[in-house]
């Protein structure tokens, strides 16, 4: 099996950002995570990620993924980056899969295909290519007119006008036999406008030296999309969102209007749940079976909805568990809370979880009824089957007892008041 080297050292100049390009978020996950997932599924071990610009940020993002990190301290091109990655492994296997960290839509089947082609053909180098309707921005594959074999790869900025008319582009994914890579890399020179060691030059040098260089063609389409700018990021995000929503619907989730629904990567949704329009569900949310969410709902990270829970119009929930059959249907904010089963959160309720220094928890127990316009100032607990009257403010540490009824500002117990009158 081949090892893998992911090139993730670049700054991404066109992103106009202080964040490494591969850490920019695409529907809740970094660009690099999409590529890592494919490599992990292929079991291409060891997995090497080449980092450079603000490498500590990239390392922090993936603390426990079994990655071998390789540091490209000086940005000297993709060829140098690939060499840095290979040499980070003491005894590398015979083959290495090299791919860019900015190809989030690349399919697992395509990567399997290029690996299979490489092995079955006995190639020394295999290059992923695509006949493109519009190859703008891609290096061009130049072939020998007689044999049809790859003879050169010309980066667009170095290509002549005739070469730019070639429609077969280089996607940025390769399989090398490691000894062939090392030998060809030693002979490359940075003879280009950028003064860099191009990985494409390593391919060409291998071909010139007599190595067997094969290509693996992929279909033209969104899969080859690179992310080099924020505009490209937005275009790719739209495609990823469509894929994610299709996967949820295929798994038994009803999504009334995919065009207005945003569900990030990594959300879990149970069967027979229904997502209404204008809903945003962030990564890390877990939704049980038979739930209803939306319209105009925002579920932030750390939210868990138990079976048949219902979160409705203009409700925001963050880092909270909502119990089975519990409801928060209108105009509410729920943060850092545990809401028991069959509880009802009335319209306009605010869980005031932040005191200016600390996020504090609120507990609403089973079958409690929170009246409209209630403010629950955390930390506080509302007991089982307890009721708060409309407009009540339940202040911090003034818990509401089971089956009690509180009203007013600050909220006071009606039942306790009744007992005082009876004993007077």
Q: At what angle do helices 199-208 and 78-87 cross, to 10 degrees?
A: 80
The end-to-end CA distance of the chain, in Å, is 85
Give, for 419, the enclosing helix (H) or strand (E): helix 414-423
β-strand pairing of 310-313 with 292-293: parallel
E strands present in 319-400? 321-322, 327-330, 333-335, 337-339, 344-345, 350-352, 362-364, 369-370, 375-377, 380-382, 387-388, 393-394
Residue 223 is given by DSSP the state: G
How far, in Å, CA of 71 to CA of 398, rounded? 55
Annotated active-site residue 330? The verdict is: yes
Q: ∠ CA(135), CA(139), CA(141), 5° rounding?
A: 90
How far, in Å, CA of 298 to CA of 317, rounded? 6
How far, in Å, CA of 25 to CA of 20, rounded? 11
How far, in Å, CA of 58 to CA of 400, rounded? 47
Residue 331 is given by DSSP the state: S
| Cα Rg, the chain, nearest whole Å | 28
Return the SS3 of 385: coil
Nearest to 132 by CA among 83, 171, 102: 171
Beta bridge partners of 4: 47, 97
Query: CB neighbours (10 Å) of residue 13?
Result: 11
For residue 87, what are its two tokens?
């040499």
How far, in Å, CA of 188 to CA of 207, rounded? 12
Catalytic residues: 330
């Amino acid at each position: 099996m081949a090892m893998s080297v992911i090139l993730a050292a670049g700054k991404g100049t066109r992103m106009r950002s202080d964040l490494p390009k591969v850490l920019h978020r695409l529907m809740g996950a970094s660009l690099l995570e999409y590529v890592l997932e494919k490599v992990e599924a292929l079991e291409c071990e060891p997995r090497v990620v080449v980092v450079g610009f603000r490498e500590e940020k990239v390392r922090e993002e993936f603390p426990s993924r079994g990655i071998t990190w390789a540091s490209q301290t000086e940005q000297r091109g993709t060829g140098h980056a690939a060499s840095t990655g290979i040499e980070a492994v003491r005894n590398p296997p015979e083959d290495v899969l090299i791919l860019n960290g900015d190809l989030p839509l690349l399919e697992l089947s395509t990567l399997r295909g290029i690996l299979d082609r490489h092995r079955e053909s006995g190639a020394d180098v295999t290059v992923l290519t695509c006949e493109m309707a519009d190859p703008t921005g891609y290096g061009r594959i130049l072939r020998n007119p007689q044999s049809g074999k790859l003879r050169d790869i010309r980066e667009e900025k170095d290509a002549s006008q005739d070469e730019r008319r070639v429609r077969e582009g280089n996607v940025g994914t390769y399989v090398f036999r490691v000894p062939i890579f090392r030998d060809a890399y030693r002979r490359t020179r940075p003879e280009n406008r950028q003064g860099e060691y191009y990985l494409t030059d390593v391919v060409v040098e291998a071909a010139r030296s007599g190595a067997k260089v094969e290509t693996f063609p992929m279909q033209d389409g969104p899969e080859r999309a690179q992310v080099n700018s924020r505009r490209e990021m937005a275009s790719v995000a739209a495609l990823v969102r469509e894929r994610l929503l299709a996967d949820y619907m295929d798994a038994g989730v009803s999504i009334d209007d995919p065009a207005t629904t945003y569900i990030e990567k990594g959300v879990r949704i149970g069967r027979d749940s229904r997502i209404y329009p204008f809903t945003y569900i962030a990564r890390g949310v877990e939704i049980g079976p038979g739930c209803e969410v939306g319209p105009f709902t925002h579920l932030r990270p750390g939210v868990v909805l138990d079976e048949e829970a219902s979160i409705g119009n203009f409700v925001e929930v963050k880092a909270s568990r909502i119990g089975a059959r519990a409801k928060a249907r209108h105009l509410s904010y729920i943060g850092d809370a545990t809401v028991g089963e069959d509880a009802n959160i009335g319209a306009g309720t605010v869980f005031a979880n932040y005191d200016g220094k600390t996020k504090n928890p609120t507990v609403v127990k089973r079958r409690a009824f929170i009246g409209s316009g209630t403010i629950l100032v955390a930390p506080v607990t509302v007991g089982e089957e307890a009721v708060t009257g409309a407009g009540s403010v339940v202040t911090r540490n003034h818990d509401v007892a089971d089956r009690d009824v509180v009203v007013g500002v600050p909220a006071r117990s009606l039942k306790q008041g009744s007992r005082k009158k009876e004993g007077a």
